[in-house]
Amino acid sequence: MTYCVGLLLNDGFVLASDTRTNAGVDNVATFKKMHIWEWPAERVIALVAAGNLSITQSVISQLDENANAGSEQEETVRNVTTLFQAARLVGRTVGEVRNAVLSEGDQSSESFSVSFLLAGQIGNERPRLFQIYSEGNFIEATADTPFFQIGEHKYGKPILDRVVTPQMKLSQAVRVLMISFDSTIRSNLSVGLPIDLMVYRKDALSVELNRRIEVDDANFAEISAKWSDALRDAFAHLPDYRW
């Protein structure tokens, strides 16, 4: 499985994805699931992916190839004028890749399920965050629901539900992501370190942080350990249920 989260804040956005893939528990590997296109002072577009790796990799390769080809007739992540157009482009590409795979082989479309989070800012447009489904359709994050999760999302959802608001600082958003990932990693073997983390500050039009949090990352370990301690401490000080 996979776990990816995107938070859309007044100050920008934060994206994170784990890197574990598995085809059975004895076939585990590390793959980057985050791709960032950055043309400084002009646009930043980031995509994280969950689901069938052959499909998600093909979608990203296709988008990347088209962007680098520099075509002006064809829409690419290089030349779309809004992030909504970028989301439509990703959705179309998902459809094309799936159809190509399906027409070539097995028709059991279930195993080709994928999902994406797309975040970015293009020029003067505000930063935006989209979740794109297997069928190529998508939804956009709003102030009411400022975060999306894809993949193994349930373990890490309670803390996001309690804490996330659009008013959070980017540093707080990174902290809550760490906790959400930590909870998921502890409870589910199919999600694992390293984590790819990206931070984008509104109107910067360049990536503020693009870091791989490795297994031995001392800062992550510190947050994880202190969170565990704080939880146990909070638990110990709760009132009893009386009977």
Residues that bind a copy of itself (CB under 8 A): 154-159, 161-163, 171-172, 174-176, 178-179, 183-184, 186-188, 197, 199, 208-209, 211, 219-220, 222-223, 226-228, 230-235, 237-243
The residues, any chain, with a CB within 8 Å of residue 75's CB and separated by 6 or more, are: 85, 89
To 5 degrees, how large is the angle CA 47–CA 138–CA 109? 90
Contact at 8 Å (CB) between 156 and 5? yes
> 49 or 198: whose CB is closer to a copy of itself?
198
Q: Give the single-character DSSP code of 210.
A: E
Write down the least CB distance from residue 143 to a copy of itself, Å: 19
Write down the least CB distance from residue 69 to a copy of itself, Å: 34
Write down the least CB distance from residue 162 to a copy of itself, Å: 6
> 82 or 187: whose CB is closer to a copy of itself?
187
Residue 151 CB neighbour total at 10 angstroms: 23
Buried b (16+ CB within 10 A) or exposed e, 224-234: beebeeeeeee
> 100 or 231: whose CB is closer to a copy of itself?
231
> 79 or 206: whose CB is closer to a copy of itself?
206
Write down the least CB distance from residue 52 to a copy of itself, Å: 21
Give CA–CA dist 174/61, Å, rounded.
28
